[in-house]
Amino acid sequence: MNRVSTVSIHPSSIVETDEIGDNTSIGPFSHVGQNVHIGKNCVIGQGCHIQDGVHLNDGIHLENGVYIWEGVYLAEDVFVGPQAVFTNYPNPRAFSHPPQTEEILQTKVGRGASIGANSTILCGHIIGAYAVVGAGSTLTHSVRAHEMVYGNPARHQGWVCECGSALFDIRECVECGRNYEMIDTGLRLVER
């Protein structure tokens, strides 16, 4: 297996796992903990922290200064903007830190979703596939597939296509022509 030759890790970073997929790069001054899995074709920026045991799927892009903690799950092709922070513990106290595993709430981010710069993602929620959390948001609830939210607290602002364009009419994206229908969990692509 000659995987090593296709993985790029800046020498200033501390990487405590061997489970890194092909064509993945890790920028300077990042820390990747033990038993972390990082898929192929990922970009981990500068100054990121990925806690022990986190599983990152293929094609994920973390901009600089992103913090990913135990209990956070990112599906394929998730984008996380600079300085975005996840949390995993709803009731932090200095005198009961670190939390017990049973006190951690899971956060799941669906395939292709984007988290804007400087967002704070409170734990225990699901962000649907291809959803967008706008820059500077504080997310306090779950987000449906293809839903666009932003603000503090983040609120529903509209819908967004897989291609990234805002959907003025879910029946047809003006940029790429994809068609959607509304279901309970958000938008679903209508195959033509």
Least Cβ distance, residue 108 to Zn ion (angstroms): 24
Long-range contacts (CB closer than 8 Å, 24 or more residues apart) made by 103-109: 104/70, 104/71, 105/71, 106/71, 106/72, 106/73, 107/71, 107/72, 107/73, 108/73, 108/75, 109/72, 109/73, 109/74, 109/75, 109/78
Question: Would you say 44 or 173 has its CB closer to Zn ion?
Answer: 173
User: Which structure tokens are listed for 131?
Assistant: 């959803």
Least Cβ distance, residue 175 to Zn ion (angstroms): 4
User: Which structure tokens are listed for 92?
Assistant: 């932090």
Question: Would you say 47 or 112 has its CB closer to Zn ion?
Answer: 112
Stretch that binds Zn ion, among 41-49, 135-143, 161-169, 183-191 (CB under 5 A): 161-169
Q: Does 173 bind Zn ion (CB under 5 A)?
A: yes
Q: Does 161 bind Zn ion (CB under 5 A)?
A: yes
Binding-site size for Zn ion (CB under 5 A) equals: 7
Least Cβ distance, residue 129 to Zn ion (angstroms): 14
Q: Does 176 bind Zn ion (CB under 5 A)?
A: yes
Q: Does 174 bind Zn ion (CB under 5 A)?
A: no
Q: Does 175 bind Zn ion (CB under 5 A)?
A: yes
Half-sphere exposure of 133 (CA within 13 A, CB side): 37
How many CB atoms neighbour CB 149 within 10 A?
A: 24
Binding residues vs Zn ion (CB under 5 A): 161, 163, 165, 173, 175-176, 178
